[in-house]
Amino acid sequence: MLELKELSRRDFLRICTAITATLGLPFTYVETVQSAVQAKRKPTVIWLHFMECTGCSETLLRASHPPLGRFLLEIVDLPYHETLMAGAGLQAEESLHKAVKENKGEFILVVEGAVSTKDGGIYCQIGGRPALQILKEVAKDAKLVIAYGTCATFGGIQSADPNPTGAVGVSEIIGTSKLINVSGCPPNPYNLLATVAYLLTFNRVPPLDEFKRPLFAYGRRIHDHCERRAHFDEGRFAESFGDEGHKRGYCLYKLGCKGPVTYANCMTLKFCDIGAWPIGAGHPCLGCTEPDFWDKMTPFYEHLKDVPIPGGGIISNAEKIGAIALAGAGLAIAVHAGAGFVKKALKNRANDENKKEEGA
């Protein structure tokens, strides 16, 4: 990196001229090069893809402020992002190593996707090495790690029962000391962009919740700002998709909405700058920003059905168990009472017989 203080004006000019020449630009460009070199260096971001669907990366294509073009050209320096970068194979590997080496302790690492831990992590390999290994190495030299998306934050879909690959979130591998979680499947791109902006503007990590998520994005429940909330409070519910209540924009609680237990800002921020979001369209929230939502929020169209019995880990139907237990209690009572009557009757008979014998 250029240490401007130590350079004389003449040296500086010489370097800029050299850069201009290297780039094959006419001499008139020296001035442009000067101002560019003097300008603040863009912070380096390294983006790693592990077990994921690239939906999280795709979110960046769905943002307008800033648009991806400006983000890439003017805001950050993103030398490694497998979906965007020009080079492949050797060239890609090299640019990762170079970026890490040149920005040791300075770069922001964004991780998209979960990490396989089963069988040495062979279920996800890049350049012949398990994601597990790559993450440990690169994260070590990062200043901060942002786990982007529910896969990276909490393990995501591949960690859903029975988790065939032993997939886990980033925190399970590198701890949480320099971690920021930006969850969602996929997350709202502005939650990442604003996190980066926050870091650059305030030069500190935003306040986080228990799951290491920025409060500005995950500090509120969907339910508490939901546009359908008045209908909830007044007991107006859609009972089925397409029914009268649904057509009138009533609350989706009975269709399985997880808004009451989900922390996110979809209801205020919405998607794609056109005011779209799941509940707005008429589909319940899945709780996609919450840990283990693939197991805990399913079946998605039930308000609460399969309750994991604590401890056992067996998914069981609480309603059924409850009803059976209640019926069982009733039955037990009936049997118990019945047994009492029978016993009493027997005893009375015995007494009668005793009396008879006595009397005889």
Contact flag: residue 259 with ligand SF4 (CB under 6 A): yes
Both tokens assigned to 280? 């707005």
H-run or E-run covering 116: strand 115-116
Name the amino acid, one letter, at 170: V
Query: CA dist 313 to 150, 213, 308, 325, Å?
Result: 22, 27, 6, 19
Scanning residues 171 to 190, which ones bind another protein (CB under 8 A)? 185-186
How many angstroms separate the CA atoms of 265 and 271, rounded?
A: 10
Name the amino acid, one letter, at 116: S
Q: Which C-beta is closer to ligand F3S: that of 245 or that of 278?
A: 278
246, interface contact from ligand SF4, ligand HEM, another protein, none, CB < 5-8 Å by kind: another protein
Q: Which C-beta is closer to ligand SF4: that of 103 or that of 153?
A: 153
The minimum distance between CB 23 and ligand F3S, in angstroms, equals 44
3-state secondary structure of 38: helix
Q: Which C-beta is closer to ligand SF4: that of 108 or that of 258?
A: 258
Contact 207, 215 (CB under 8 A): yes
Sheet holding 179-182, edge to edge: 77-80, 44-49, 108-112, 144-148, 179-182
How many angstroms separate the CA atoms of 356 and 298, rounded?
A: 69
Lay out the site mask for another protein across 128-167 (x = CB under 8 A, - = otherwise): x---------------------------xxx-xxxxxx-x
Scanning residues 261 to 320, which ones bind another protein (CB under 8 A)? 261-263, 266, 271-274, 276-278, 280-283, 286-287, 290-294, 296-301, 303-304, 307-310, 318
254, interface contact from ligand SF4, another protein, ligand F3S, none, CB < 5-8 Å by kind: another protein
Contact 256, 303 (CB under 8 A): yes
How many angstroms separate the CA atoms of 20 and 50, rounded?
A: 38
Contacting another protein (CB under 8 A), which of 7, 18, 335, 339?
339
Which residues neighbour 281 within 8 Å (Cβ) at sequence distance 6 or greater? none
Lay out the site mask for ligand F3S across 199-238 (x = CB under 6 A, - = otherwise): -----------------------x----------------
Contact flag: residue 304 with ligand HEM (CB under 6 A): yes
Q: Which C-beta is closer to another protein: that of 78 or that of 146?
A: 78
Contact flag: residue 337 with another protein (CB under 8 A): yes
Scanning residues 167 to 186, which ones bind ligand F3S (CB under 6 A)? 184
Interface with ligand F3S by CB under 6 A: which range of 199-207, 210-218, 280-288, 340-348?
Answer: 280-288
Contact 290, 262 (CB under 8 A): yes
Cβ atoms < 10 Å from Cβ of 137: 13
Q: Which C-beta is closer to ligand SF4: that of 16 or that of 277?
A: 277
Scanning residues 23 to 82, which ones bind ligand HEM (CB under 6 A)? none
How many angstroms separate the CA atoms of 310 and 305, rounded?
A: 15
Q: What is the DSSP letter of 253?
A: G
Cβ atoms < 10 Å from Cβ of 205: 15
Name the amino acid, one letter, at 7: L
Contact flag: residue 315 with ligand HEM (CB under 6 A): no
The gap between the terminal CA atoms of the chain, to the nearest Å, is: 120
107, interface contact from ligand F3S, another protein, ligand HEM, none, CB < 5-8 Å by kind: none
Lay out the site mask for ligand F3S across 248-277 (x = CB under 6 A, - = otherwise): --------------x-x-x----------x
Scanning residues 110 to 129, which ones bind ligand SF4 (CB under 6 A)? 112-113
Task: Scan for tokens 């979001």, then name that residue.
Answer: 277
Contact 152, 193 (CB under 8 A): no
> What residue ranges bind ligand HEM (CB under 6 A)?
260, 304
> What residue ranges bind ligand F3S (CB under 6 A)?
184, 222, 262, 264, 266, 277-279, 285-286, 288-289
